[in-house]
Chain A
């Protein structure tokens, strides 16, 4: 590959409609996607992730901005001249062709000789484990099999970039889990850059090298799964990926060893070090439910007193909804271990400790 990046998206904007009814689907997005990367566009439906994918595929063209594929500007290039293939959400297999004909279609359109198409189709069939069904009409395949054919068809012409538009959303849970592993394997084996669109945060976290979180047509945060989960850029990212508790607080004092924070109830907490904290400043604290420690009895110094309002047992863990003195409630997730005898019931007084290392300051 000639370029450092497989795809460079530079200040791309896409609007639908015009005048007052105009909808900005993609709003000034700048993004670089590396070679051989498993990159995920994550966001709720209508966030612009599919629009961005369609712009990369060339089904639509940006109002402003540039798209670079492997160092070459493809902003105005039609889809049939881009070395980018798509796996559609609905698979979009050609109903009048067999499995093998579907897989060979791209190569045929590239005017490759038969001697080249046939071995490649066989190779693809092997890759997705569909050798036995090569001559089957696609209408007679199950959802999972159609999925595999769609993948093989898109990979057969060896594109520089493979786009996947929520390809697993139509599959049932077990098959989806299998295909997640399968997709990771295919990406590693082929070395093709994958751009994967999903609204499923768990799917994004398990599969991706990097994730871009989108909302309202804008890019909110780009980073590795761990990074996004541990250091979400804002409230939206924090609550969209994983679960999050938010606490408003005032900075009482801040220095190089940490910060002293006062909650609305008057309780105090120790917070992590941050650069731009000034006494008197109001901040929003974020903490993941599994990072809060719950204990029975009166609170030790530095812990918050609360009452269990509700609980949900989910096997591996138990969720507690704990109401604090000021009426705010926190979600706490505790792993169920055999040695833990103590179980809390609604109405029990508990103490919550929020470790400073698990607290994050968020921009509103």
Chain B
């Protein structure tokens, strides 16, 4: 009997060692594929830009300075980088709007699917995932084809005599938002559907029975219960939206620059890789702060369910 605790302790120790060994491959992949590249980005942000792109291995904080300040061409005085700030604000703004619209559109869609008979649900889910099969570039070009001046909508409206000259839809903020919502919508529908599918619809009846109007059934019973799905969907939409690159260029015509485009520019024509790297890290920090704030605000339950 006296040996038993000792045996148990050894058993637990062996168990822990085995678990570490078993998770080693995963840890290695995370280290090589995520942490490694991130470190490279951090290192690059502290180097000097090369003449034709690339970097010179000379330490410099210049990139970080120019993330936040702009240096006067003549007297080297520093003023806050209002251009960068407004680009960041515009990106955050677009991402928030995209998230809001995908929730507004995605929730009813997910509700529709979740309330279908079990057999036809699979079909609807399948339809939702079809856009994923196509490259985002092609999907965006397709959208461009629909809304451009000689595109589908304008041709139809002109032919039917409703308008005389084409509506300018392409290269507007609305077009960028519509494009973002279109590409992100499945990312919102799927997690909300996953939550709604598990919802016990008798709870909805119970709430109706207890004098809750349809709107209050939604806000007091359904939404609190499916909140983890909405939080997960919002995170899945918000993060990629902040770094959006293709949609703002194609549908916004490059007139309105987003963070993604700004970073892309530094690695392309700008030939300032350190600045690009510094901006990337800044974006990451912004995303992290936004997420922390969001998860805290939404009660933290979502974070627990998905973290």
By a beta-carbon cutoff of 8 Å, the part of chain A in contact with chain B is 57-59, 78-81, 84-86, 88, 90, 92-96, 105-106, 109-110, 153-154, 157
The number of inter-chain residue pairs (CB within 8 angstroms) is 63
Contact of A157 among B200, B203, B208, B210 (CB under 8 A): B210
By a beta-carbon cutoff of 8 Å, the part of chain B in contact with chain A is 200, 202-203, 205-213, 216, 220-221, 224-225
Interchain residue pairs with CB less than 8 A apart (28) = A58-B209, A79-B208, A80-B209, A80-B211, A80-B212, A80-B213, A85-B209, A85-B210, A86-B205, A86-B206, A88-B202, A88-B206, A90-B202, A92-B200, A94-B203, A94-B206, A94-B207, A94-B221, A95-B225, A96-B224, A105-B220, A106-B211, A109-B207, A109-B212, A109-B213, A109-B220, A154-B209, A157-B211
B residues less than 8 Å from A58 (CB atoms): 208-209
C-alpha gap A95/B220 in the complex (Å): 12
B residues less than 8 Å from A157 (CB atoms): 210-211
A residues less than 8 Å from B203 (CB atoms): 92, 94-95
C-alpha gap A85/B225 in the complex (Å): 22
C-alpha gap A170/B252 in the complex (Å): 60
**Contact in complex: B225, A86 (CB < 8 Å):** no
Rounded to whole Å, the gap between the CB of B165 and the closest CB of chain A is 49
C-alpha gap A95/B221 in the complex (Å): 9
B221 closest partner in A (C-beta): A94
Contact of B210 among A59, A78, A95, A153 (CB under 8 A): A153
Contact of A92 among B206, B213, B216, B220 (CB under 8 A): B206
**Contact in complex: B212, A92 (CB < 8 Å):** no
Rounded to whole Å, the gap between the CB of A81 and the closest CB of chain B is 8
A residues less than 8 Å from B200 (CB atoms): 90, 92
C-alpha gap A110/B221 in the complex (Å): 15
C-alpha gap A57/B24 in the complex (Å): 58
**Contact in complex: B207, A105 (CB < 8 Å):** yes
Contact of A79 among B205, B216, B224, B225 (CB under 8 A): B205
B301 closest partner in A (C-beta): A96
**Contact in complex: B225, A109 (CB < 8 Å):** no
A105-B212, A154-B210 are known contacts; what are 14 more A-B pairs with Cβ within 8 Å? A57-B205, A59-B208, A80-B209, A88-B202, A88-B205, A90-B200, A92-B203, A92-B205, A93-B206, A105-B207, A105-B220, A109-B211, A109-B213, A110-B211
B residues less than 8 Å from A57 (CB atoms): 205, 209
B residues less than 8 Å from A154 (CB atoms): 209-210
**Contact in complex: A92, B202 (CB < 8 Å):** yes
Rounded to whole Å, the gap between the CB of A149 and the closest CB of chain B is 12
**Contact in complex: A79, B202 (CB < 8 Å):** no
**Contact in complex: A78, B208 (CB < 8 Å):** yes
Question: Top 9 closest A-B pairs, CB basis?
Answer: A106-B210, A92-B206, A109-B211, A92-B202, A79-B208, A109-B212, A96-B224, A86-B209, A80-B211
